[in-house]
A = this chain, B = another copy of it.
Amino acid sequence: MDKIRRNERMSAMMKILAASPNRIFTLNNFCELFGTAKSTMSEDVELLRGMTEAFDLGRVETVTGAAGGVRYRPTVSRDKAREYILSLCEKLSGTERVLPGGFLYYSDILSTPDIVHFMGEILATQYYDSEPDFVLTMETKGIPVAFATADALGVPLVIARHSSKVYEGSAVNINYVSGSGSIETMSLSRRAVQENQRALIVDDFLRGGGTARGMVELMREFKVSVTGMAFVMATASPEKKRVSGEKALMTLTVTDGEPAEARVTPSDWLL
């Protein structure tokens, strides 16, 4: 390849940074890749910073200090988040998606990559400052969103199971009271996390908070602190959950009546 031009350097750097969100790359990484002086790379980074800001495409940031360099965070502005969640709410509201028992069908939303990434980035934006070491979810439906959130935060995903599995090695099991009042088991491999780490809990649905409370207790067994709890959807009722400090993207009310109707609205913190 001939001498690499600024437009090629910048677009390659944007691609590389965005593929590993929140990871710090040293300027030397890029100087070597492009055969460019550090001062030139600094200018490139500054231009990328301005570009991402101008187009509301997240943030390219310079990190100073010994472990310094440049990183990309796919942060979502509140305006963009609200607009997006509002359009999702419209899609989910109405009578068509209501199932017997007042449940809402939205598994399709929870596994469409574009939507899932955007939800993950909105949630991650709220938790960069709390610096979680990993994202914890409980199988099954929340896994894609939890993975997308972990991806945006640049940390691993940890998946708690309903029972211990031979291919997970020795595990810690706890019992918890589920939303329906039954006693359930939650299991996590001993190897999955380390003492004194910080967990962000992400799940698809919050009703009473039984499962979320179980995850908090599971983390206590591992001596891991919980830095936050985030959900795709929370029910309006019961208003009082068994956990507190949680953030949900949407709030769900299913009205009685024939046919039953779902009203889905963006949660307060997005407004």
Contacts and interface: CB of A to CB of B under 8 A. Distances in A.
A13 B7 CA distance: 11
Contact of A156 (B6, B108, B140): B108
A168 B12 CA distance: 42
Interface string A92-113: 0000000111011101100111
A54 B1 contact: yes
Interface stretch (A61-69, A144-152, A211-219): A144-152
A90 B43 CA distance: 39
So how many copies of this chain end up in the complex? 2
A14 interface: yes
B159 A192 contact: no
A235 to B, nearest CB: 12
A140 B167 CA distance: 12
Given A7-B6, A11-B10, A111 B157 contact: yes
Given A1-B54, A7-B7, A107-B192, A150 B14 contact: no
Interface string A23-54: 10000000001000000000000011011101
Interface in A144-175: 144, 147, 150-151, 154-159, 161, 166-169
A51 B111 contact: no
Interface in A168-220: 168-169, 189, 191-192, 205
A20 B17 CA distance: 16
Contact of A166 (B10, B12, B55, B99): B99
Contacts of A191: 105, 107-108
B166 A51 contact: no
Please give me the 4 A-B residue pairs with the lowest Cβ-Cβ distance, nearest first: A113-B151, A111-B157, A7-B7, A11-B14
6 contacts: A11-B14, A100-B166, A101-B166, A105-B191, A111-B147, A111-B150
Given A1-B54, A105-B189, A111-B159, 16 more contacts: A8-B50, A10-B10, A10-B11, A11-B13, A18-B19, A23-B114, A33-B55, A101-B166, A103-B166, A105-B169, A107-B191, A108-B191, A117-B151, A140-B161, A143-B144, A144-B144
